[in-house]
Chain A
Amino acid sequence: MNPAELFCQETDTLKLAPGDFLFREGDSGEEMYVLLEGEIEIFLGDFIIETAEAGTLIGEMALIEDNPRTANAVAKTPARLAKINRRRFHFLVQQTPHFATHVMKTLAGRLRHMNAVTAVR
Protein backbone atom coordinates (compact mmCIF):
# COMPACT_ATOMS: atom_id res chain seq x y z
CA MET A 1 0.00 0.00 0.00
CA ASN A 2 1.29 3.43 -0.93
CA PRO A 3 -0.76 6.00 1.02
CA ALA A 4 0.27 8.67 -1.48
CA GLU A 5 -2.12 7.01 -3.94
CA LEU A 6 -4.96 7.14 -1.42
CA PHE A 7 -4.51 10.89 -0.97
CA CYS A 8 -3.18 12.09 -4.33
CA GLN A 9 -6.58 13.59 -5.29
CA GLU A 10 -6.53 15.95 -2.30
CA THR A 11 -7.02 19.54 -3.33
CA ASP A 12 -6.21 21.10 0.04
CA THR A 13 -2.53 20.14 0.11
CA LEU A 14 0.32 21.86 1.89
CA LYS A 15 3.33 23.08 -0.09
CA LEU A 16 6.75 23.59 1.42
CA ALA A 17 9.96 25.04 0.03
CA PRO A 18 13.37 23.56 0.94
CA GLY A 19 14.26 24.55 4.51
CA ASP A 20 10.62 25.13 5.58
CA PHE A 21 9.64 23.48 8.86
CA LEU A 22 6.56 21.24 8.74
CA PHE A 23 6.66 21.12 12.54
CA ARG A 24 9.07 21.49 15.44
CA GLU A 25 9.77 19.26 18.41
CA GLY A 26 7.45 20.27 21.26
CA ASP A 27 4.71 21.71 19.01
CA SER A 28 1.25 20.45 19.84
CA GLY A 29 0.11 18.40 16.87
CA GLU A 30 -3.45 18.17 15.61
CA GLU A 31 -2.67 16.78 12.17
CA MET A 32 -0.62 14.09 10.51
CA TYR A 33 0.64 14.24 6.93
CA VAL A 34 1.12 12.02 3.93
CA LEU A 35 4.07 13.12 1.82
CA LEU A 36 2.82 13.21 -1.78
CA GLU A 37 5.90 14.70 -3.46
CA GLY A 38 9.41 15.64 -2.39
CA GLU A 39 11.59 14.74 0.57
CA ILE A 40 11.37 15.74 4.22
CA GLU A 41 14.08 15.27 6.81
CA ILE A 42 13.13 14.19 10.32
CA PHE A 43 15.58 15.49 12.95
CA LEU A 44 16.06 14.63 16.59
CA GLY A 45 18.12 17.63 17.63
CA ASP A 46 20.82 17.84 14.92
CA PHE A 47 20.63 14.16 14.14
CA ILE A 48 18.72 13.11 10.97
CA ILE A 49 16.83 9.94 11.83
CA GLU A 50 14.96 9.63 8.54
CA THR A 51 14.66 11.16 5.10
CA ALA A 52 10.98 10.70 4.25
CA GLU A 53 10.00 10.12 0.61
CA ALA A 54 6.70 10.08 -1.29
CA GLY A 55 4.16 7.86 0.48
CA THR A 56 5.63 8.34 3.95
CA LEU A 57 3.39 9.11 6.93
CA ILE A 58 4.69 11.99 9.03
CA GLY A 59 3.55 13.25 12.43
CA GLU A 60 1.21 10.33 13.19
CA MET A 61 2.55 9.93 16.74
CA ALA A 62 1.05 13.19 17.97
CA LEU A 63 -2.38 12.03 16.75
CA ILE A 64 -2.11 8.57 18.25
CA GLU A 65 -0.88 9.68 21.66
CA ASP A 66 -2.12 13.23 22.02
CA ASN A 67 1.39 14.35 22.89
CA PRO A 68 3.61 17.13 21.52
CA ARG A 69 5.76 16.52 18.40
CA THR A 70 8.80 14.37 19.19
CA ALA A 71 10.99 15.58 16.32
CA ASN A 72 11.58 18.37 13.81
CA ALA A 73 10.39 17.89 10.21
CA VAL A 74 12.06 20.07 7.57
CA ALA A 75 11.60 20.06 3.79
CA LYS A 76 14.76 18.97 1.98
CA THR A 77 13.27 19.58 -1.48
CA PRO A 78 10.04 21.27 -2.57
CA ALA A 79 7.36 19.10 -0.93
CA ARG A 80 3.61 18.60 -1.18
CA LEU A 81 1.64 16.97 1.65
CA ALA A 82 -1.92 15.83 2.37
CA LYS A 83 -3.23 16.74 5.84
CA ILE A 84 -5.20 14.32 7.99
CA ASN A 85 -6.85 15.60 11.15
CA ARG A 86 -7.72 13.53 14.19
CA ARG A 87 -11.30 12.85 13.15
CA ARG A 88 -10.32 11.65 9.73
CA PHE A 89 -7.48 9.61 11.16
CA HIS A 90 -9.83 7.66 13.43
CA PHE A 91 -12.32 7.30 10.58
CA LEU A 92 -9.57 5.83 8.38
CA VAL A 93 -8.43 3.44 11.10
CA GLN A 94 -12.00 2.21 11.56
CA GLN A 95 -13.03 2.04 7.92
CA THR A 96 -9.78 1.08 6.23
CA PRO A 97 -7.99 -1.70 8.14
CA HIS A 98 -5.16 -1.55 5.58
CA PHE A 99 -4.54 2.03 6.61
CA ALA A 100 -4.35 0.93 10.27
CA THR A 101 -1.93 -1.84 9.34
CA HIS A 102 0.14 0.62 7.35
CA VAL A 103 0.40 3.02 10.29
CA MET A 104 1.55 0.10 12.45
CA LYS A 105 4.14 -0.91 9.85
CA THR A 106 5.46 2.62 9.74
CA LEU A 107 5.77 2.78 13.53
CA ALA A 108 7.32 -0.68 13.76
CA GLY A 109 9.89 0.22 11.07
CA ARG A 110 10.86 3.41 12.89
CA LEU A 111 11.04 1.59 16.21
CA ARG A 112 13.35 -1.05 14.70
CA HIS A 113 15.51 1.73 13.29
CA MET A 114 15.72 3.54 16.64
CA ASN A 115 16.42 0.27 18.47
CA ALA A 116 19.35 -0.30 16.12
CA VAL A 117 20.62 3.28 16.52
CA THR A 118 20.38 3.07 20.31
CA ALA A 119 22.07 -0.35 20.44
CA VAL A 120 25.01 0.99 18.40
CA ARG A 121 25.58 3.88 20.79
Chain B
Amino acid sequence: MNPADLFRQDSDALQLAPGDFLFHEGDKRDKMYVLLEGEMDIRLGDYVVETAKEGALIGEMALIDDSPRAANAVAKTPCRLAAIDKRRFHFLIQQHPHFATHVMKELADRLRHMNTAAMR
Protein backbone atom coordinates (compact mmCIF):
# COMPACT_ATOMS: atom_id res chain seq x y z
CA MET B 1 0.00 0.00 0.00
CA ASN B 2 1.31 3.45 -0.93
CA PRO B 3 -0.68 5.99 1.13
CA ALA B 4 0.32 8.70 -1.33
CA ASP B 5 -2.16 7.14 -3.79
CA LEU B 6 -4.95 7.46 -1.21
CA PHE B 7 -4.37 11.20 -0.72
CA ARG B 8 -3.06 12.41 -4.06
CA GLN B 9 -6.37 14.11 -4.85
CA ASP B 10 -6.29 16.27 -1.71
CA SER B 11 -6.70 19.82 -2.96
CA ASP B 12 -5.37 21.65 0.10
CA ALA B 13 -1.94 20.06 0.05
CA LEU B 14 0.91 21.77 1.88
CA GLN B 15 3.98 22.92 -0.08
CA LEU B 16 7.42 23.29 1.48
CA ALA B 17 10.72 24.61 0.11
CA PRO B 18 14.06 22.95 0.98
CA GLY B 19 15.02 23.90 4.57
CA ASP B 20 11.41 24.62 5.65
CA PHE B 21 10.37 22.97 8.91
CA LEU B 22 7.15 20.95 8.84
CA PHE B 23 7.34 20.81 12.63
CA HIS B 24 9.80 21.14 15.51
CA GLU B 25 10.46 18.70 18.35
CA GLY B 26 8.22 19.68 21.27
CA ASP B 27 5.49 21.32 19.13
CA LYS B 28 1.97 20.47 20.20
CA ARG B 29 -0.03 19.71 17.06
CA ASP B 30 -2.96 17.60 16.01
CA LYS B 31 -2.19 16.63 12.44
CA MET B 32 -0.23 13.99 10.62
CA TYR B 33 1.01 14.15 7.04
CA VAL B 34 1.42 11.94 4.02
CA LEU B 35 4.36 12.91 1.84
CA LEU B 36 3.04 13.14 -1.72
CA GLU B 37 6.20 14.46 -3.40
CA GLY B 38 9.76 15.22 -2.34
CA GLU B 39 11.98 14.15 0.56
CA MET B 40 11.97 15.15 4.22
CA ASP B 41 14.64 14.65 6.87
CA ILE B 42 13.41 13.50 10.27
CA ARG B 43 15.93 14.67 12.85
CA LEU B 44 16.49 13.99 16.51
CA GLY B 45 18.62 16.99 17.34
CA ASP B 46 21.15 16.93 14.47
CA TYR B 47 20.91 13.19 13.92
CA VAL B 48 18.90 12.29 10.81
CA VAL B 49 16.91 9.21 11.85
CA GLU B 50 15.11 8.90 8.54
CA THR B 51 14.87 10.49 5.13
CA ALA B 52 11.17 10.20 4.33
CA LYS B 53 10.23 9.61 0.72
CA GLU B 54 7.00 9.68 -1.25
CA GLY B 55 4.28 7.74 0.55
CA ALA B 56 5.83 8.12 4.02
CA LEU B 57 3.64 8.96 6.99
CA ILE B 58 5.02 11.82 9.06
CA GLY B 59 3.93 13.05 12.49
CA GLU B 60 1.49 10.22 13.22
CA MET B 61 2.82 9.73 16.77
CA ALA B 62 1.38 13.01 18.04
CA LEU B 63 -2.07 11.89 16.82
CA ILE B 64 -1.77 8.44 18.33
CA ASP B 65 -0.68 9.34 21.85
CA ASP B 66 -1.54 13.03 22.05
CA SER B 67 1.99 14.00 22.98
CA PRO B 68 4.26 16.72 21.55
CA ARG B 69 6.30 16.12 18.40
CA ALA B 70 9.11 13.66 19.08
CA ALA B 71 11.41 14.93 16.31
CA ASN B 72 12.08 17.72 13.82
CA ALA B 73 10.82 17.37 10.24
CA VAL B 74 12.62 19.46 7.61
CA ALA B 75 12.13 19.53 3.84
CA LYS B 76 15.23 18.26 2.02
CA THR B 77 13.79 18.97 -1.44
CA PRO B 78 10.62 20.80 -2.52
CA CYS B 79 7.76 18.83 -0.89
CA ARG B 80 4.04 18.43 -1.18
CA LEU B 81 2.10 16.90 1.75
CA ALA B 82 -1.50 15.96 2.54
CA ALA B 83 -2.60 16.88 6.08
CA ILE B 84 -4.76 14.46 8.11
CA ASP B 85 -6.45 15.67 11.27
CA LYS B 86 -7.40 13.48 14.23
CA ARG B 87 -10.99 12.92 13.11
CA ARG B 88 -9.96 11.78 9.66
CA PHE B 89 -7.19 9.63 11.12
CA HIS B 90 -9.62 7.68 13.31
CA PHE B 91 -12.11 7.45 10.45
CA LEU B 92 -9.36 5.94 8.26
CA ILE B 93 -8.44 3.41 10.94
CA GLN B 94 -12.05 2.32 11.28
CA GLN B 95 -12.89 2.25 7.59
CA HIS B 96 -9.60 1.12 6.09
CA PRO B 97 -7.94 -1.65 8.12
CA HIS B 98 -5.10 -1.58 5.57
CA PHE B 99 -4.38 1.98 6.61
CA ALA B 100 -4.24 0.86 10.27
CA THR B 101 -1.88 -1.97 9.35
CA HIS B 102 0.24 0.44 7.35
CA VAL B 103 0.57 2.85 10.30
CA MET B 104 1.62 -0.10 12.50
CA LYS B 105 4.20 -1.20 9.93
CA GLU B 106 5.75 2.24 9.80
CA LEU B 107 5.93 2.43 13.60
CA ALA B 108 7.34 -1.07 13.92
CA ASP B 109 9.91 -0.35 11.22
CA ARG B 110 11.07 2.82 13.00
CA LEU B 111 11.19 1.03 16.33
CA ARG B 112 13.32 -1.73 14.82
CA HIS B 113 15.61 0.93 13.40
CA MET B 114 15.92 2.70 16.78
CA ASN B 115 16.52 -0.61 18.58
CA THR B 116 19.40 -1.24 16.21
CA ALA B 117 20.72 2.30 16.68
CA ALA B 118 20.53 1.91 20.49
CA MET B 119 22.66 -1.25 20.33
CA ARG B 120 25.49 0.44 18.45
Interface residues of A (CB under 8 A from B): 44-45, 47, 49, 60-61, 64-65, 67, 70-71, 90, 93-94, 97, 100-101, 103-105, 107-112, 114-115, 117-119, 121
Contacts and interface: CB of A to CB of B under 8 A. Distances in A.
A64 B101 contact: yes
B45 A45 contact: no
A20 to B, nearest CB: 22
A105 B65 contact: yes
29 contacts: A47-B118, A49-B115, A64-B101, A64-B105, A70-B115, A90-B101, A93-B104, A97-B90, A100-B93, A100-B97, A101-B64, A101-B90, A104-B100, A105-B65, A107-B107, A108-B60, A111-B61, A111-B110, A111-B111, A111-B114, A112-B61, A112-B65, A112-B70, A114-B117, A115-B49, A118-B114, A119-B44, A119-B45, A121-B118
B67 interface: yes
Contacts of B65: 105, 108-109, 112
A71 to B, nearest CB: 7
B44 A64 contact: no
Contacts of A45: 119
Contacts of A93: 97, 100-101, 104
The interface size bin for chain B is 20 to 34
Interface of B is mostly: helix
Contacts, number: 93
Interface of A is mostly: helix
B94 A97 contact: yes
A101 B91 CA distance: 12
B108 interface: yes
Nearest 6 Cβ contacts at the A-B interface? A107-B107, A114-B114, A94-B97, A100-B100, A64-B108, A97-B94
